[in-house]
Amino acid sequence: MEKRIRVLVAKPGLDGHDRGAKVVARALRDAGFEVIYTGLRQTPEQIIEAALSEDVNVVALSLLSGAHNTLFPKIVTMLNEKGMNDVLVVGGGVIPDADIPFLKESGVSEVFTPGTPTSNIIEFIKANVK
């Protein structure tokens, strides 16, 4: 039996809107992934602890508040410090195109902006999980 991909869908920071994260979480679940959703207003430390305890393959970060350039790289760094550099990190939310190169240089594998079909997210994860 093939091991299912485990995805942690996380909402870092003070962002109080999670409809998009829930849509993505449901699409991932429907595609056969195991999905763990952290809920709103998670600290980077809480996200890392959940990723460790749930033994996930993917951390999918959703942020609408504008703090992505601070929080996404911090979470990538913390994952690496915990020896979880094999975990795929993807981001999504209201993220300006101009910020995407910095996020990718910081270790976020892909950034999905509003309007991205969930099928694109699913295929990217399938193609890139080690």
**CATH superfamily, with its number, for domain 6-128:** Cobalamin-binding domain (3.40.50.280)
What is the tens place of the pLDDT at every residue in 25-72? 999 999 999 999 999 999 999 999 999 999 999 999 999 999 999 999
Domains of the chain by residue range: 6-128
Q: Name residue 90's beta-bridge partners.
A: 60, 110
Helix (H) or strand (E) holding 91: strand 88-93
How many whole angstroms separate alpha carbon 24 and alpha carbon 20? Answer: 6
pTM of the prediction? 0.96
